[in-house]
């Protein structure tokens, strides 16, 4: 029996030229039902979890901020404990009494230098608010202790309302309202 050979027909085929009629990559994508289902699940997953992730990030930032505050407060507490521990030392207490309160031992002499030039060389002493300090010794025009005592007694023993009460004269002008008059200026 003669063996039958399959018939094969050979057809010449030409390969397409490169670059001619090339399609973009997205044209070759084929969507199936499974791909669309997975894409829908991913979109739903992002929509559901996005607010939760934003909340998580905000809470993490708050935790980090509060941890920084706690660390700062712990450092402050440690510094304050160190400052309190310094007051147990007699030499430190003595130095503070000499510097702040101008205390001296019996027999020692303390000198307070007034009018010395500052480090900036201005030569004028100033208060904390920036006003110049007078070099003249001044006496107050009014006894503030007596004025305060009279104010307390007057407000406690009177039948007047708070609107009817007048502040005591602490400016030394003689006017109970504290306003300067023409004859005292």
Q: What is the pTM of this model?
A: 0.37
Q: What is the pLDDT of residue 85?
A: 93
Report the range of poorest mean pLDDT among 56-65, 72-81, 109-118, 121-130.
121-130
Residues 101-153 pLDDT 10s: 888 888 888 887 776 665 555 666 677 677 777 777 777 677 788 888 888 88
What pLDDT does 108 receive?
87
Give the DSSP letter string of the chain: -PPPPPP------PPPPTTTTPPPGGGG----HHHHHHHHHHHHHHHHHHHHHHHHHHHHHHHHHHHHHHHHHHHHHHHHHHHHHHTT-HHHHHHHHHHHS----TT-------S---TTS----B-TTSPBPPSS----SS-HHHHHHHHHHHHHH----TTT------SSSS-TT-PPPTTT-
């Amino acid at each position: 029996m003669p063996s039958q050979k399959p018939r094969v027909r050979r057809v010449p085929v030409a390969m397409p030229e490169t670059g001619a009629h090339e399609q973009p990559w997205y044209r070759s994508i084929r969507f199936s039902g499974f791909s669309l289902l997975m894409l829908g699940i991913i979109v739903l997953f992002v929509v559901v979890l996005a607010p939760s992730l934003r909340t998580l990030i905000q809470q993490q930032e708050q935790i980090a901020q509060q941890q920084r505050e706690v660390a700062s407060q712990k450092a402050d507490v440690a510094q304050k404990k160190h400052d309190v521990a310094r007051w147990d030392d007699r030499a430190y207490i003595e130095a503070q009494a000499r510097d702040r309160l101008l205390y001296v031992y019996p027999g020692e002499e303390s000198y307070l230098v007034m009018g010395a030039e500052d480090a900036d060389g201005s030569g004028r002493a100033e208060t904390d608010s920036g006003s110049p300090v007078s070099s003249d010794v001044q006496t107050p025009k009014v006894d503030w202790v007596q004025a305060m005592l009279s104010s307390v007694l007057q407000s406690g023993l009177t039948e007047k309302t708070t609107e009817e009460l007048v502040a005591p004269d602490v400016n030394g002008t003689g006017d109970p309202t504290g306003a300067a008059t023409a004859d005292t200026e």
